[in-house]
Amino acid sequence: MNSTVSLVSAVVAVSGAVLTAVLGAVFEHRRRRGDREYERRGLASRYSDPLLRAAAALHARVGWFLAWLDGKETAAERDGDASILPLGERGEDYALFESLFRFANYLGCVEIMLQEVHFLDLGSRKRNKRLAELLAGVQVALSYDGDDLGPVFQLRGGEQRAIGETVIERPEAGEGRPRCLTYIAFRAKWDDEPGFRRWLQPVLEDIKRTIVEPAAVKGRLRRLDHALSDLIDFLDPKHVLLPFSHERVSS
């Protein structure tokens, strides 16, 4: 009898130990999986949030240009001269350079993401593939050389990456992560560094040409407007982070 009780007790003890070990392994696996998911979400947010803001800022400016071009005569047609914008010298300077900044800032956010993580893991192959397609859509909108779009605002893939590289501010080792220049730093670098201006000057000239020759740029801007709108809708599908940045200017 005593031996039977001892045997049962031993079996119960062993079973309890095995169950404890199994449950411990299960909980540890879930904890690690949760940690990995938390880390993945944090990494995705670290790069997708700045990308969303930059895309929305550029989309808003492209939309402004399209609305202006659709609703106004060009300055040359109206005034008989080559004035860029009827805003005065200060307003004209801001419109030109702040628009240039938005273009460069978007390309900088994309370049940081490509250099830091190569691709952004959004939790599923389907979403990862879709993001890659949407980023490629914006790239193609700028690089496509079809006759229907013309050469204005045409930036080939290597040029886009080079512009993105120029606006990345790299911290000292161990002092943070790369980020895009602020507008103030952007203007200072424009004034001080000829090499910086070399990459961005053609885009600035295209911004000027947009107002003087709207027919030469409308097609590309419309295509860019649609591509950015699709990207924004994907990154913020419920319109929570940027509720006013999803409207397309044209169909």
pLDDT recorded at residue 208: 87
pLDDT recorded at residue 196: 95
Residue 212, number of CB atoms within 10 A of its CB? 16
Distance CA 51, CA 57 (A): 10
Question: At CB < 8 A and 24+ separation, what contacts does 26-32 make?
Answer: none
Over the chain (251 residues), the average pLDDT of each successive run of 10 is 62 65 63 49 68 94 84 48 54 87 96 79 81 94 86 92 95 79 96 95 91 80 94 89 62 53
Query: For the chain, which residues make up each domain, given as ranges?
Result: 45-235
Nearest alpha carbon to residue 180 among 94, 104, 238, 75:
104
Nearest alpha carbon to residue 239 among 52, 57, 38:
52
